[in-house]
Amino acid sequence: MSSSPDLPHPERSEISLTTVLFALSDPERLAIARQLVDGPLDMAECHLSNPDVPKSTKSHLMKVLRTAGVVRNEANGRARRLSLRREDLDARFPGLLDAVLSAEKDSANS
Amino acid sequence: MSSSPDLPHPERSEISLTTVLFALSDPERLAIARQLVDGPLDMAECHLSNPDVPKSTKSHLMKVLRTAGVVRNEANGRARRLSLRREDLDARFPGLLDAVLSAEKDSANS
DNA sequence: TAAAAGGTTCGAAATAATTCGAACGATGGA
DNA sequence: TCCATCGTTCGAATTATTTCGAACCTTTTA
């Protein structure tokens, strides 16, 4: 009874500012992060702006967020539980996540 | 006596969060922004980590920062005066610039 | 014990971003 | 006026990212 793949995550000390900024610089990825502010979600509950994108594409978006250290991705039955790495990010880059996530979500905010 | 080119800058209201994050997600561009926290500099005083990069490349880095709304680029004699758009950014995305610029500049911070 | 559900990975194709030389323009000084 | 300085722009080549189908793996359910 092996389990779903244990994906690699950077340690807190390995999280790079520019990599985090890059991960959040895509509107779709930023929107995902915003969906996680109120707590973890299973992947199927994270919605993309276009509901028709293939699962491989969605998986890749998650990978960018995960390898940047923005999100944790853990096995949860046959699903995947996604959560914001809030404590790690707050410790490493104080105020950054708050600033990004609380920014107005208007049009020019893509 | 026409003057050096007046380059286009986005208005405050047009500055996009993801575009700003993207502009700052490159180590070289982030380093430039950090050099401007203490006040404007002429382009020749902004140093890149590799002093041998061609001027066209440097100019392109500046363009990304400018078109994102991170930096203002004004004619100053035959030089170019670069400044951080601190007020605009603070107004639009409170806390963001502070968080980014005050983050530790250690290795994992590229 | 199948088969469906939920996701990851791989590889290839399409897009986007970066790099840099060459050409150009404006300014300031000789 | 002539020329060196400081930068921008253009276009082409390189490199990086994104997209997506196909193959695969694990878990749950029938």
**B24-36 tens-digit pLDDT:** 999 999 999 999 9
Instruction: Please compute the mean of the pLDDT values over residues B49-53 and round it to a whole number.
Output: 95
> B40-58 b/e with 16+ CB inside 10 Å = b?
ebebeebeeeeeeeeeeeb
B43 CA to D2 C1' in angstroms comes to 26
- How close does chain B come to A73, measured CA to CA in Å? 21
Cβ–Cβ under 8 Å, residues A24 and A30: yes
Pairing of strands B79-84, B41-42: antiparallel
Closest residue in chain B to residue A95, using alpha carbons only: B99
Check residue B110 and give its pLDDT.
Answer: 60
| H helix intervals, A1-110 | 17-24, 27-35, 55-68, 86-92, 96-102
Q: Which residues of B, range 63-82, sit inside 8 Å of A by Cβ?
A: none
Cβ–Cβ under 8 Å, residues B99 and A93: yes
- The span from the CA of A27 to the CA of A49, in Å, is 9
Q: Which single residue has its CA nearest the C1' atom of nucleotide D10?
A: B56
Sorted by where each starts, the structural domains of chain A and their CATH numbers stand as 13-101 (1.10.10.10)
Share of chain B above pLDDT 90, in %: 88
